[in-house]
Amino acid sequence: MRSHWLPILATVAAAAAAAPDARADVTSWMAVGGGYALQRDHASATSDSAPALTYSLGVGSSPLASFVVGGVFRGQTLFGLGTDIGGAARVATGGFARGEWGVALDAGALWRSWGDPGTFGRWPWQAVLTGGCPWGLQVALATQLFSVSGGTPAQGFTASLELDLLRLTVMRQGPSERWWPNPAPAGGRQTASIAW
């Protein structure tokens, strides 16, 4: 019975030994920042403002591509109001993914546990446009609209200055390496210029 497994094991071992090295690193994001938010209060027909703490964590396809597709977990704490958390799909330029100049667009839904559901909405849609520059710095502009659940629609806006710790360190390539070399950027080194 053991004798018929020997050729199969030998074939698998030969295939594993002959296989070329694969590089399947993904793009990673981990940002935190602060800014300011406005939220429409439907009960009083006024807008409430609050300082905001923003944060996001996500992964995407190879950073060497012209465009990177992935997903992010995103949250924001609006001091004096509450915390929104949710997931979103992200499309980013390759430059953004590699810690250079670029942009990313997130679209998804948030869960809002604070406030009366008829006042600020409970499940808003959110879109976030993030402009990134070298050294992990980025500006994020977010809007909360409509309602996934069909209840009271949200109307809000958040602007924040963020630092993406992974774009600053493991993902970083490009001009910033002149002052701080990154010997092994995640995904490998971009060698060809990107066609826009």
Q: Are 137 and 119 in contact (CB under 8 A)?
A: no
pLDDT in the model for residue 58:
96
Where residue 68 falls among pLDDT bands split at 50, 70, 90? very high
Place of tokens 């809000």: 156
> What is the rounded average pLDDT of the residues 26-32?
94
- 3-state helix, strand, coil split of the chain in percent (to 5) is 20, 50, 35
Cα–Cα dist 194/174, whole Å: 12
195 pLDDT more than 70 = no
pTM exceeding the 0.85 threshold for the entire prediction: no
Mean pLDDT of the 60-69 span: 92
User: Among 45-49, 66-70, 127-131, whose mean pLDDT is lowest?
Assistant: 45-49
Domain ranges in the chain? 26-164
Integer Cα distance of 115 and 84 in angstroms: 11
Q: 183 pLDDT exceeds 80?
A: no
Q: What is the pLDDT of residues 13-23, one digit of tens each?
A: 766 666 555 55
Q: Would you give the end-to-end CA distance of the chain in angstroms?
A: 59
Note the helical H segments in 19-147.
94-97, 117-120
Architecture of domain 26-164: Beta Barrel (2.40)
Three-state DSSP state, 178:
helix
Q: Residue with structure tokens 């793009």?
A: 27
Residue 196 has a pLDDT of 41
**pLDDT value at position 151?**
81
Q: What is the pLDDT of residues 139-153, one digit of tens each?
A: 999 999 988 888 888
pLDDT score for 19: 54
pLDDT by residue (tens digit) across 89-132?
Answer: 999 999 999 889 999 999 999 998 887 777 888 889 999 999 99
pLDDT of residue 15: 65
